[in-house]
Amino acid sequence: MSLPVMVVHGGATAFKKEYHDEILEAVRKAARVGLCALNNGGSSLDAVESAIYVLEETTLFTAGRGASKNRDGEIELDAMIMDGNRLESGAVMAVRDIAHPISLARYVLERTKNYQIVGSGADKLYRQMLQEGYRKEVDTYRTTQVPIAIGCDTVGAVAADASGRLASASSTSGWPGKLPGRVGDSPIIGAGVYANEIAAASCTGKGEQILRIVMGRMAVYHVECGFSVYEAAKKVMAELRQKTSGEAGLLLADNKGNVAIEYDTKHMPTAVATATSDDVFISMTPKWPLKSANSSFVHN
Ligand code: ASP
């Protein structure tokens, strides 16, 4: 692959067939928006934030406007963003009246000295973010439709800019019916999301299992040890299977623009956009590495 590169996913799970086209259209749009940020001089952080924002804005995924409720019928959202070059991150957990927690996570990263803000503290910080004009207020409309995924479908993104600077991100409402206050892997540094100057990972799936093997960090570590992103992604998925009952998927990119996608669920809607191709490669069941001639990716 080449730089810059933008990759997004809509969760590792199974999706009802009648929604596949809409889902693929959403991930493609998200990847395009992220790549557009990179092509216009934006950072990889801009790219992953804007891509996740697009996915949160749809009602297709259990994140943002598509959030599902916890056991008590309330919505609690988690999101995280990480800058690989600075080795710094921002995360919010169990936030309520916000449509786009990814932007609040970015605010935590850019404008506070802390990395992880939870619950009512994050809700207060949201008001502060608006007062400072860091991002505009948007309504908190949520879908009332029955979830279209069987399980949960966190959204995630990784990006590398033209000079190989990496970022990764994730956003979710977590598993439907979760215990109030429950936080999974998605906003936890090293578990759901990790990035450094070598590689960046965004994981999705059974959070309690992903946490046990610190999956995002391990995937990046394998790349640091000399494995290709493809080998590293396979290796970490095998570790998850051997040591836990986890079902999961991940995006893994390195600073050369190489990308791996692995999952052991029925679907993992994914889109990959690069500057050297007008195409965005989209698939519900991606096979990787991409072979452009006989790719099992759908070229649109
Ligand atoms: N990992 C998320 C969680 O456990 C769910 C998902 O990725 O679908 O909250």
CA-derived radius of gyration, the chain: 17
253, β-bridge pairs? 200, 259
Q: Is residue 279 within 8 Å of 272, Cβ to Cβ?
A: no
Would you give the DSSP letter of residue 147? P
Would you give the DSSP letter of residue 231? H
pLDDT tops 70 at residue 26: yes
CA dist., res. 256 & res. 237, Å (int): 22
35-73 tens-digit pLDDT: 999 999 999 999 999 999 999 999 999 999 999 999 999
The secondary element (H helix, E strand) that includes residue 56 is helix 44-57
The first and second tokens of residue 217, run together, are 């960090």
Identify which of 170, 186, 251 to mutate to test ligand 1's pocket (most ligand atoms within 8 A of the CB): 186
| Closest Cα to atom 7 of ligand 1 | 204
Neighbour-count burial of 219, counting CB atoms closer than 10 A to its CB (0-12 exposed, 13-18 middle, 19+ buried): buried
Q: What is the pTM of this model?
A: 0.94
CA of 198 to the centre of ligand 1 (A): 25
- 278 falls in which pLDDT band (50, 70, 90)? low
Give the pLDDT mean for 198-208: 97
| Closest Cα to atom 1 of ligand 1 | 207
Catalytic machinery residues: 154
CA of 186 to the centre of ligand 1 (A): 6
202, β-bridge pairs? 193, 251
126-135 tens-digit pLDDT: 999 999 999 9
Q: Which residues are near ligand 1 (CB < 6 Å)?
A: 11, 152-154, 172, 174-175, 184-186, 192, 204-205, 207
DSSP-derived 3-state class of residue 212: helix
With tokens 């960090």, the residue in question is: 217
**Domain 5-283, CATH class in plain words:** alpha beta
214-229 tens-digit pLDDT: 999 999 999 999 999 9
